[in-house]
Chain A
Amino acid sequence: MKKTNYFAWFIFILGIFYFFLPLFATLEFSLRMKKGVYSLEAFRVAFQDPKFYQNFGYSLMWAVLTIVFSLLLVVPTAYWVHWKLQKIRPVVEFITLMPFVTPAVVLVFGLIRLYGKPPLNLTPTPIPLIAGYIVLSFPYMYRSVDSGLRAIDIRTLTEAALSMGAGWGTIISQVIFPNIRVAILSGVFLTFAIVMGEFTFASLLSWPAFGPYMEEIGSMRAYTPQALSLVSFALTWTSMMIMQRLGRGAKGEEQVAVAH
């Protein structure tokens, strides 16, 4: 007969409490906007504010732009590192881990100092913001793509495609990309979640975004910011769930494992 491991269950329940208790407290607080009764008033107020949609829309746009340019940069780089430049892999990995050791505020000040004056005054454009977000997403995007590339035989697939007359664009778009789709989607959703809640870059570069909006609301109101925090959490969780779902349903990498 299987023995119940009470200690394991105790640790698990403790973890659940540690994680969900603050969320529950936030939810409970957000529902107390009307005196004496629980209501969704805080959510109604949050969703009725036109600035909410404006800032959310901006963050959505920054996220999409970050994802597009990040993919254009990371996928060919990771592919090339796997295909021809194995020796520089540790260097690339180190670079992609930089955002973990360099605080966002340092990065953004570096960007402002470098690109906030002639000859390359880019701060009036969203380029430094997107570039900063791309750097922030490096650890997630590069790691995801890298693990996807490790799962398939890049070299042989590339050579097979080359021997059939394919060029580099075709190889990346039709052979490599579809076979690391799940890995790419992981990177995409992680990047999406990070950009949607990011505060430092958007605030210091003075661009409207969901993060600074939440901070602004938080300094003026009591209940609405809690509601917005929960919306932000829900967004991140939805991204994670989609990622999990896609990962479970995808056949691409399973096929590779069988074929090679």
Chain B
Amino acid sequence: MTTLEPGVRIEVDGVPHAVPAGATVAAALLNAGVSGFRRAVSGTLRAPLCGMGSCFECRVRIDGVPHRRACMEVVRDGMEVRTGA
């Protein structure tokens, strides 16, 4: 595995995190201990399943844009992520 050095700062639900540059938002969130990415119709928490953009379980709000697939986006410095929608 390629080890990535923390190089980017993002905010997850208002809390700052140092994450590796080049990481996907999904990986960054999981590493930060986020377990629930979105809330399902019936109220349970969901997290990434397919990891490659087809299941939509990992969708979060990124910089104000809702329903972004966390597994398909790469972290950017200053990115604001909201989970639990």
Bound together: no
